[in-house]
Amino acid sequence: MESKLALQVGTTLDRFIMRKQEDFPFATGELSQLLRDIALAAKIVNREVNHAGLIGIGGAYGAQNVQGEDQQKLDVIANIRFIRALRNGGEVCTIISEEDDEMIQTGNCKGKYIVAMDPLDGSSNIDVNVSIGTIFSIYRRLSAFGEDGVMNDCLQPGTQQVAAGYVIYGPSTMMVYTTGNGVNGFTYEASLGEFYLSHQNIRIPENGNIYSCNDGNYWQFDEGTRAYLDYCRKASMTARYTGSLVGDFHRSLLKGGIYLYPATGKAPNGKLRLLYECNALAFIAEQAGGIATDGKKRVLEIQPTELHQRLPFIIGSKNMVEKAHTIIQGQA
Ligand code: AHM
Ligand code: MG
């Protein structure tokens, strides 16, 4: 449903969210407030990211997160900032974060929503000043109000997302999100402290010429995936891979392309996480006309069984993902 009021140049994220809410007269405004809380935390993290090189908080924290990966100081800071914003906001009862093994209870037992997030994805890129991002998914809780959220609230398939998005901290900082009614992007104007609508109703091109995959893993991929990468090379497609999922996905979304993180010898179930990396981007891709799968199934229909579940991941332009499936499944 399109907003009743025409959107004008200079529309801020706040105003956009407000106008969208006017389309739903019975809505309580809690989801709108939650999106604003996320945007506020993103502004704070953006400031930290911009200052990281200056105040010496880039680099490893010296600890490891639950998956045995080095935690960067900024990962920790971003995690704290987002949790704090969601706790203060009051709409969220439970958070799932890449940085925390267990569910995080905010203490807002009346909160309607669950948030799954990767507070700072692509953190190996922080020290080298390459784009990084925050990814988030929002679900309605299933359990009764008045208590903490439970595992069942967190293990919902991606089809149940009520909103999802990402923030990319790059040459410009942008927030891109969907509430299931198209995808819109907002660019941050730091001097004014506002996100402005800059990319209205984003549609991912059906075709593209860019493939994005860690080619160094080539010999760890299955035969089908290798055949697809051979096809990309023979077709002289352009290879682009930063190691920052948000950046690589954002490029595909705007220009057309395909991103693949297949299973490898080292990561036999894939590397990326369903709840706070893949589902959000899959929701956005589909809302923009693209496709996201684990190589066989639609990502959004996968029933999660654990918080930090991993999966192989293919996402991008419709025709490119379909072609990849055909080749990977040996039908080419
Ligand atoms: P992270 O959550 O630890 O940052 O890992 C996720 C990142 C993605 O952003 C990126 O696409 C991928 O891992 C890169 O992995 P690799 O270095 O194995 O290619
Ligand atoms: Mg991550």
Condensed to tens digits (0 to 9), the pLDDT of residues 115-160 reads 999 999 997 888 888 999 999 999 999 999 899 999 999 999 999 9
Q: Which CATH class is domain 210-329?
A: alpha beta
Any idea which architecture 13-202 has in CATH?
A: 2-Layer Sandwich (3.30)
In 3D space, the residue among 132, 136, 150 whose CA is nearest the CA of residue 45 turns out to be 132
Ligand that lies nearest to the alpha carbon of residue 65, given by its number in the listed order: 1
Q: What are the backbone angles phi and psi of residue 273, rounded to the nearest 5°? A: -100, 135
In 3D space, the residue among 283, 299, 296 whose CA is nearest the CA of residue 324 turns out to be 296
In sequence order, the 6+-apart residues with CB closer than 8 A to the CB of 216 are none
259 is in an annotated binding site: yes
Q: Taking the mean position of all CA atoms in its chain, how far away is CA 123? A: 14
Condensed to tens digits (0 to 9), the pLDDT of residues 232-258 reads 999 999 999 999 999 999 999 999 999
In sequence order, the 6+-apart residues with CB closer than 8 A to the CB of 280 are 116, 135, 136, 137, 161, 164, 165, 166
Residue 201: what pLDDT? 96
Best of 245, 309, 311, 315 for a ligand 1 pocket test (most atoms within 8 Å of beta carbon)? 245
Q: Does residue 29 register a pLDDT over 50?
A: yes
Domains 13-202 and 210-329 share a fold: no
Instruction: Tell me the C-alpha distance between 220 and 185, whole Å.
Output: 36
* Alpha carbon of 329 to ligand 2 centroid (Å): 28
Residue 26: what pLDDT? 63
In 3D space, the residue among 169, 265, 286, 275 whose CA is nearest the CA of residue 218 turns out to be 265
Provide mean pLDDT across the span 85-97. 97
Q: Residue 254: how many CB atoms within 10 A of its CB?
A: 16
Q: Taking the mean position of all CA atoms in its chain, how far away is CA 196? A: 20
**Lookup: tokens for 314:** 């293919």
Ligand that lies nearest to the alpha carbon of residue 132, given by its number in the listed order: 1
| 244 Cβ inside 6 Å of ligand 1 | yes
Q: Burial of 65 by CB count in 10 Å (0-12 exposed, 13-18 middle, 19+ buried)?
A: buried
Three-state SS letters, 296-331: CCEHHHCCCCCCCCEECEEEECHHHHHHHHHHHCCC
In 3D space, the residue among 190, 163, 137, 170 whose CA is nearest the CA of residue 247 turns out to be 170
Sequence spans of domains, the chain: 13-202, 210-329
- Kind and range of the H or E run holding 164: strand 161-169
In 3D space, the residue among 115, 253, 85 whose CA is nearest the CA of residue 176 turns out to be 253
Best of 272, 281, 309 for a ligand 1 pocket test (most atoms within 8 Å of beta carbon)? 272
Nearest CA to ligand 1 atom 6: 122
Instruction: Tell me the C-alpha distance between 101 and 97, whole Å.
Output: 8
91 is in an annotated binding site: no
Residue 2: what pLDDT? 42
In sequence order, the 6+-apart residues with CB closer than 8 A to the CB of 266 are 217, 220
Q: What is the DSSP string of 53-67?
A: HHHT--SEEEEE-TT
**Lookup: tokens for 220:** 């760890």
In sequence order, the 6+-apart residues with CB closer than 8 A to the CB of 25 are none
| 245 Cβ inside 6 Å of ligand 1 | yes
Residue 1: what pLDDT? 38
* Alpha carbon of 133 to ligand 2 centroid (Å): 9
The neighbourhood of ligand 2, an ion, using CB within 5 A, equals 118, 121
Check: pTM over 0.95? Answer yes or no: no
120 is in an annotated binding site: yes
300 is in an annotated binding site: no
ipTM of this predicted structure: 0.96
**Lookup: tokens for 231:** 């096809």
